[in-house]
């Protein structure tokens, strides 16, 4: 039965290829640091469950050291002359559409040979491999061409590529440290007894606020759900846990649009396009505020039976 080991193996092999291509790229003045950075990520996917807590901690510190000291750089851009693109037209998007189609089909069909707990992730990975195979047959590139292009994109993003995983892990650390209990205690004092709207408001604003601070809604989710979502809205007021959790995450994503902590979303694009560092956040802010209000109202009107 295929499970997360398959997903980790594919991701590890991809980063191992990036590491090798970086090490052999003499146009990159920091090729050894860049290769080591991608190599460590590959090790974490290949053997993270066997390294133990201390081993993984050392690996993360090494990644931080490489990224923080400027040891990660980029080589010469991998460019294409775009020959034939006009002839293909919109058909160029077909390989990209294969990925969600396969992922959706796997999720709905739930084949017996895929771990039912990981069916979406496994199906998504299979979709990527199918799309890659289709591109090889259709466009006939060299074997390394997709990996060169992928490495170029990763070089452009840089160390911020691992920020979502680190911030999500930070949320789990906060939850284990009892931050959710502290937040719940503070919220209990701030919410008038039995006032549903204020409770929903605290939860929605808290999801967005913690996301702004930590840069990732997945980091905010365990804190706010353990502190307010489950004890106050679900147990205390009889809310629908599925809807509250799902729309609560959307409220958190509104915070993602407003924070420089979400560097891979809000700072890296600005740098790549030579824009002002806050240009992306300024453009997203009105949408984020409107959607946050809508999500809070959705929880209030749809999340409770009475």
Asked whether 71 and 37 are in contact (CB, 8 A), the reply is yes
- 151 lies in the same domain as 183: no
- 147 lies in the same domain as 188: no
169 within a domain of the structure (yes/no): no
- 151 lies in the same domain as 30: yes
Q: Which two tokens stand for residue 16?
A: 């191992």
- 153 lies in the same domain as 12: yes
Burial class (CB within 10 angstroms; exposed 0-12, middle 13-18, buried 19+) of 104 = middle
Q: What are phi and psi of 254, to 5 degrees?
A: -60, -35
What is the per-residue pLDDT across 108-121, written as a single tens digit (0 to 9) for each?
A: 999 999 999 999 99
Q: Given the structure tokens 């559409």, which residue do they identify?
A: 97
166 within a domain of the structure (yes/no): no
Mean pLDDT of 11-31: 94
Alpha carbon distance 174, 98 (integer Å): 37
- 71 lies in the same domain as 110: yes
Alpha carbon distance 115, 6 (integer Å): 11
3-class DSSP assignment, residue 79: coil
Q: Residue 98's pLDDT is what?
A: 95
SS (H, E, C) 253-297: HHHHCCCCCCHHHHCHHHHHCCCCCCHHHHHHHHHHHHHHHHHHH
Last residue of a domain, one of 157, 191, 206: 157
- 226 lies in the same domain as 130: no
Last residue of a domain, one of 100, 122, 157: 157
What is the per-residue pLDDT across 73-88, written as a single tens digit (0 to 9) for each?
A: 887 766 665 556 777 7
**Model pTM?**
0.74
164 within a domain of the structure (yes/no): no
Alpha carbon distance 251, 243 (integer Å): 12
Asked whether 207 and 217 are in contact (CB, 8 A), the reply is yes
Of the candidates 242, 247, 239, 232, the one whose C-alpha atom is nearest the C-alpha of residue 194 is 232
Q: What are phi and psi of 2, to 5 degrees?
A: -85, 130
Of the candidates 187, 270, 267, the one whose C-alpha atom is nearest the C-alpha of residue 226 is 187
- 127 lies in the same domain as 22: yes
Q: Given the structure tokens 């958190």, which residue do they identify?
A: 252
Q: What are phi and psi of 304, to 5 degrees?
A: -135, 145
What is the per-residue pLDDT across 42-63, written as a single tens digit (0 to 9) for each?
A: 999 999 989 998 999 899 999 9
Task: Note down the domain range covering 97.
Answer: 4-157
Asked whether 270 and 157 are in contact (CB, 8 A), the reply is no
More confident of the two residues 294 and 260: 294
Last residue of a domain, one of 128, 157, 186: 157
- 13 lies in the same domain as 133: yes
Asked whether 199 and 213 are in contact (CB, 8 A), the reply is no
- 89 lies in the same domain as 203: no
- 135 lies in the same domain as 43: yes
- 153 lies in the same domain as 182: no
171 within a domain of the structure (yes/no): no
173 within a domain of the structure (yes/no): no
210 within a domain of the structure (yes/no): yes
Of 92-96, 97-101, 164-168, which range is least confident? 164-168
57 within a domain of the structure (yes/no): yes
Domain total in the chain: 2
- 131 lies in the same domain as 259: no
163 within a domain of the structure (yes/no): no
């Amino acid at each position: 039965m295929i499970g997360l080991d398959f997903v980790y193996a594919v991701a590890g092999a991809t980063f191992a290829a990036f590491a090798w291509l970086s090490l052999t790229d003499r146009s990159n003045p920091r090729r050894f640091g860049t290769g080591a950075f991608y190599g460590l990520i590959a090790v974490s996917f290949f053997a993270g469950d066997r390294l133990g807590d201390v081993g993984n901690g050392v690996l993360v510190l090494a990644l931080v050291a490489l990224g923080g000291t400027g040891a990660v750089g980029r080589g010469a851009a991998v460019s294409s002359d775009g020959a034939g693109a006009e002839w293909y037209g919109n058909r160029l998007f077909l390989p990209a559409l294969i990925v969600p189609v396969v992922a959706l089909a796997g999720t709905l069909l739930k084949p017996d040979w895929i771990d039912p707990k990981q069916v979406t992730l496994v199906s998504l990975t299979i979709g990527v491999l199918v799309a890659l195979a289709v591109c090889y047959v259709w466009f006939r590139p060299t074997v390394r061409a997709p990996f060169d292009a992928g490495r170029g994109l990763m070089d452009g993003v840089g160390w911020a590529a691992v920020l979502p995983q680190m911030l999500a892990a930070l949320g789990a650390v906060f939850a284990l440290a009892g931050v959710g209990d502290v937040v719940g205690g503070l919220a209990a004092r701030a919410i008038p007894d039995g006032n549903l709207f204020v409770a929903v408001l605290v939860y929605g604003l808290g999801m967005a606020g913690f996301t702004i601070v930590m840069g990732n809604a997945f980091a905010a989710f365990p804190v706010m759900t353990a502190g307010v979502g489950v004890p106050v809205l679900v147990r205390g007021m009889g809310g629908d846990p599925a809807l509250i959790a799902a729309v609560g995450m959307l409220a958190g994503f509104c915070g993602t649009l407003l924070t420089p902590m979400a560097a891979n979303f809000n700072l890296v694009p600005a740098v790549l396009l030579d824009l002002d560092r806050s240009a992306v956040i300024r453009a997203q802010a009105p949408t984020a505020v409107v959607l946050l209000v809508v999500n809070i109202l959705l929880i209030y009107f749809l999340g409770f039976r009475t």
